[in-house]
């Protein structure tokens, strides 16, 4: 009896422990990994070398990694760049725990946050010709371009619209300057037309249109013209693209406005026109004459002769972005008639003669004017009332290109210049009337300019000498020669051999003496040599 009683107790106790163990196994079954013969069954996950937990399958960690990246990227509008490397180490165990998936996911997310290298923010890049700038928003782009427009729009009529560029396949924006006042008026007129109960139609509409055309054909009075800026647009193509950039690459709006509206000196070229003088060019380009001379090696002084077609370097202040506009303006102005030129084919271009002096007039005008930035590029007078007629200046001018003069020898050392000097030898003049070059006897002497030989022989103090008369009325002389190669009456070309240098006449040593005479009077030859 006792054995049976204890047996029942033991059997009952055994059953209770088995049930308890079974319950515990069922409760923690997901946390256990059972040993199988397939190999590794528990995997320790590392993100950038830092352990974040253990899972039963690597695919579970990869799903967690993808979800964590998606969640971080979705939490901000910016573009997030992460440097992520996931590795794992597997092992085969009999029984063991895989970490709680929520804890592993949290550790992965923390590791990703720590791996963020740089956040690229949504931004907009503006490109106009050679200029580029990055700003944070379309609104800042609009403010930047509006600042450019405001520089020339004193009436505050124009705004900036940023719209889709229809000529581009990709998502590229462009900007236009728009007349807000005109837009407003057109919208009001459209609304009024829509509100009309009985809009004009048929013959009535045609009569109204014909009447309006007749009114337009009538000559306008000065007060009938709409004045001010008629149109405005950017001279360069405006391109705006959306991009993701690091915050460090974005420009502050104030600095971008300063850069885009600030004028900078740009090198330009001015081609001299017929009738131009240096003083007139200085007024046209708004640069002092001394500055123009300093910029151009071809100009020695403000009195240097300039020729039609000659190119002069000038500096022009220009902003990075150009704005073109069309204006209609009213003026009461003093005006001049264009100069009237009478061409003389038998005169040189250096010869002019004024046969009628000008007289300024006074008039009232309405003019349509084109501008690029502040530079007037075109003008058309729409209406004019002359109060006092202007008188044109009439000038005769030559069309023949004058002859040029070259150095008559190759090489040589400049030994005595034009002007006063101490006499180098007995009998020599103290006022030197030409230019001397020291050179060995027998050096080739060429004609400085083409012309007719008027003298070839002995010339007293000059020794052997050659005189050449030129088409422009000037004369050249070559003295102290050792041998003459031409005779009086010969026609010689520029650069043709005419003699050999020497040491004849009143001379202190072997050299060539060269003169240029204008109107029979010697001048400094160096001022006329090319």
Kindly report, residue by residue over 199-229, the tens digit of the pLDDT.
555 565 565 565 555 545 567 898 899 999 9
User: Mean of the pLDDT values across residues 31-56?
Assistant: 74
Q: How many helices (H) and strands (E) does the chain have?
A: 9, 30
Q: Does residue 362 surpass a pLDDT of 80?
A: yes
At residue 32, the pLDDT reads 46
Report the chain's C-alpha Rg in angstroms. Answer: 47
Residue 148 and residue 80 share a domain: no
- pLDDT band for 307, please (50, 70, 90 cuts): confident
Q: Does residue 282 surpass a pLDDT of 90?
A: no
- pLDDT band for 369, please (50, 70, 90 cuts): very high
Q: Residue 3 falls within a domain, yes or no? A: no
At residue 305, the pLDDT reads 81
Q: Does residue 288 surpass a pLDDT of 80?
A: yes
Residue 167 and residue 247 share a domain: yes
> What are the angstrom distances between the C-alpha of 371 and each of 126, 158, 287?
24, 16, 19
Least confident of 11-25, 279-293, 449-463, 486-500: 11-25
For residue 204, the surrounding DSSP H or E stretch is helix 202-217
Domain boundary among 365, 400, 435: 400
Residue 427 and residue 351 share a domain: no
Q: Does residue 498 surpass a pLDDT of 80?
A: yes
The C-alpha angle 444, 446, 451, rounded to 5 degrees, equals: 155
Rounded Cα distance between 178 and 160, Å, is: 6
Domain boundary among 210, 245, 262: 262
At residue 203, the pLDDT reads 60
Q: Which of 59-73, 232-246, 379-393 has the highest mean pLDDT?
A: 379-393
For tokens 């072997």, what's the residue?
510
β-bridge pairing 340-348 and 394-400: parallel
Residues in the chain: 530
Average of per-residue pLDDT values in the chain: 83
pLDDT digits (tens, 9 = 90+) for 370-417: 999 888 889 999 999 999 999 999 999 988 888 999 999 999 998 888
For tokens 């992965």, what's the residue?
108
Domain boundary among 63, 89, 118: 118
Residue 429 and residue 387 share a domain: no
Rounded Cα distance between 365 and 161, Å, is: 34
Largest CA distance in the chain: 175
Domain span at residue 393 reads 265-400
| Helix ranges (DSSP H) in 328-435 | none
pLDDT digits (tens, 9 = 90+) for 9-42: 666 676 666 666 665 655 454 444 444 445 778 8
Residue 387 and residue 272 share a domain: yes
Q: Residue 199 falls within a domain, yes or no? A: no
At residue 225, the pLDDT reads 92
Comparing 516 with 428, the larger pLDDT belongs to 516
> Would you call 27 exposed, middle or buried from its count of C-beta atoms within 10 A (0-12, 13-18, 19+)?
exposed
Percent of the chain with pLDDT over 90: 33
Residue 455 and residue 354 share a domain: no
- pLDDT band for 1, please (50, 70, 90 cuts): very low
At residue 486, the pLDDT reads 96
Q: Residue 201 falls within a domain, yes or no? A: no
For tokens 């959306």, what's the residue?
242
| Helix ranges (DSSP H) in 28-133 | 58-74, 101-115
Are residues 207 and 215 in contact, defined by beta-carbon separation less than 8 angstroms? no
| Helix ranges (DSSP H) in 218-263 | 253-261
Percent of the chain with pLDDT over 70: 84
Q: Count of domains in the chain?
A: 4
Q: Residue 220 falls within a domain, yes or no? A: no
Q: Residue 371 falls within a domain, yes or no? A: yes
Angle, helices 101-115 vs 58-74, to 10°: value is: 50
- pLDDT band for 243, please (50, 70, 90 cuts): confident
At residue 284, the pLDDT reads 82
Q: Residue 71 falls within a domain, yes or no? A: yes
> What are the angstrom distances between the C-alpha of 428 and each of 415, 421, 423?
14, 10, 5
- pLDDT band for 2, please (50, 70, 90 cuts): very low
User: Mean of the pLDDT values across residues 66-88?
Assistant: 76
Least confident of 242-246, 361-365, 503-507: 242-246
CA-CA-CA-CA torsion sign (171, 177, 180, 184): negative
* Nearest alpha-carbon partner for 385 in 406, 410, 408, 366: 366
Look up residue 302 and give its two tokens: 């403000």
pLDDT digits (tens, 9 = 90+) for 81-108: 667 888 888 888 876 678 888 888 888 8
Residue 251 and residue 276 share a domain: no
Q: Does residue 487 surpass a pLDDT of 80?
A: yes
Bridge-partner residues for 420, per DSSP? 431
Residue 396 and residue 269 share a domain: yes
At residue 24, the pLDDT reads 60
Q: Residue 104 falls within a domain, yes or no? A: yes
Q: Does residue 449 surpass a pLDDT of 50?
A: yes
User: Mean of the pLDDT values across residues 488-508?
Assistant: 94
At residue 187, the pLDDT reads 78
CATH number of the domain to which 437 belongs: 2.70.70.10
At residue 35, the pLDDT reads 43
Look up residue 66 and give its two tokens: 């993808």
Three-state DSSP at 395 gives strand
At residue 189, the pLDDT reads 75
Residue 340 and residue 275 share a domain: yes
User: Mean of the pLDDT values across residues 66-81?
Assistant: 74
Query: What are the residues whose beta carbons fall under 8 Å from the beta carbon of 416, sequence distance 6 or more?
Result: 424, 432, 435, 436
Residue 374 and residue 269 share a domain: yes
Q: Residue 36 falls within a domain, yes or no? A: yes
At residue 33, the pLDDT reads 45
Query: What are the residues whose beta carbons fall under 8 Å from the beta carbon of 19, sequence distance 6 or more?
Result: none
Are residues 465 and 508 in contact, defined by beta-carbon separation less than 8 angstroms? no
Residue 154 and residue 105 share a domain: no
At residue 213, the pLDDT reads 55
Residue 444 and residue 335 share a domain: no
Least confident of 141-150, 288-297, 427-436: 427-436
At residue 36, the pLDDT reads 47
């Amino acid at each position: 009896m006792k054995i049976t009683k204890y047996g029942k107790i033991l059997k009952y106790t055994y059953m209770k422990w088995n049930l308890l163990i079974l319950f515990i196994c069922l409760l923690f079954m997901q946390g256990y990994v059972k040993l199988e013969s397939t190999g590794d069954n528990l995997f320790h996950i590392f993100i950038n070398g830092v352990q974040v937990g253990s899972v039963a399958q690597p695919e579970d960690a990869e799903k967690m990694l993808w979800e964590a990246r998606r969640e971080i990227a979705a939490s901000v509008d910016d573009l997030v760049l992460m440097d992520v490397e996931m590795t794992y180490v597997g092992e085969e165990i009999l029984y063991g725990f895989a970490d709680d998936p929520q804890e592993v996911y949290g550790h992965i997310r923390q590791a990703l946050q720590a791996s963020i290298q740089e956040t690229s923010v949504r931004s907009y890049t503006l490109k106009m010709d050679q200029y580029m700038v990055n700003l944070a928003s379309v609104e800042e782009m609009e403010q930047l371009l509006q600042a450019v427009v405001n520089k020339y729009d004193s009436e505050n009529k124009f705004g900036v619209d940023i719209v889709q560029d229809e000529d581009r396949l990709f998502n590229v924006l462009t900007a236009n300057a728009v007349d807000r006042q005109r837009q407003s008026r057109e919208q009001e007129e459209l609304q009024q037309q829509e509100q009309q109960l009985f809009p004009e139609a048929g013959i009535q509409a045609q009569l109204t249109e014909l009447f309006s055309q007749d009114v337009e054909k009538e000559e306008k009075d000065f007060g009938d013209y709409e004045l001010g800026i008629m149109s405005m647009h950017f001279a360069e193509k405006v391109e705006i693209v959306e991009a993701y950039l690091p915050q460090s690459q974005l420009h502050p709006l104030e600095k971008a406005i300063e850069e885009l509206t600030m004028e900078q000196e740009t090198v330009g070229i001015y081609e001299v026109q017929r009738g131009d003088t240096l003083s007139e060019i200085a007024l046209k380009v708004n640069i002092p004459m001394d500055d123009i001379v300093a910029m151009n090696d071809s100009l020695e002084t403000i009195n240097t002769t300039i020729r039609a077609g000659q190119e002069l370097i000038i500096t022009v202040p220009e902003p990075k972005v150009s704005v073109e506009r069309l204006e209609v303006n009213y003026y009461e102005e003093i005006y001049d008639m264009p100069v009237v030129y009478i061409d003389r084919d038998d005169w040189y271009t250096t010869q002019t003669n004024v046969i009628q002096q000008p007289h300024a007039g006074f008039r009232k005008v309405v003019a349509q004017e084109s501008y690029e930035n502040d530079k007037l590029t075109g003008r058309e007078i729409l209406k004019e009332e002359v109060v006092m007629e202007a008188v044109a200046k009439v000038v005769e001018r030559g069309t023949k290109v004058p002859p040029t003069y070259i150095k008559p020898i190759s090489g040589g050392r400049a030994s005595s210049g034009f002007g006063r000097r101490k006499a180098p030898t007995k009998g020599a003049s103290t006022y030197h009337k030409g230019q001397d070059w020291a050179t060995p006897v027998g050096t080739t002497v060429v004609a400085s300019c083409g012309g007719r030989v008027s003298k070839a022989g002995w010339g007293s103090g000059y020794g052997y000498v050659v005189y050449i008369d030129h088409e422009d009325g000037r004369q050249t002389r070559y003295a102290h020669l050792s041998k003459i190669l031409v005779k009086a009456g010969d026609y010689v070309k520029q650069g043709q051999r005419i003699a050999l240098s020497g040491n004849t006449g009143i001379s202190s040593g072997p050299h060539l003496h060269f003169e240029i005479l204008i109107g029979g009077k010697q001048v400094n030859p160096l001022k006329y040599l090319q």
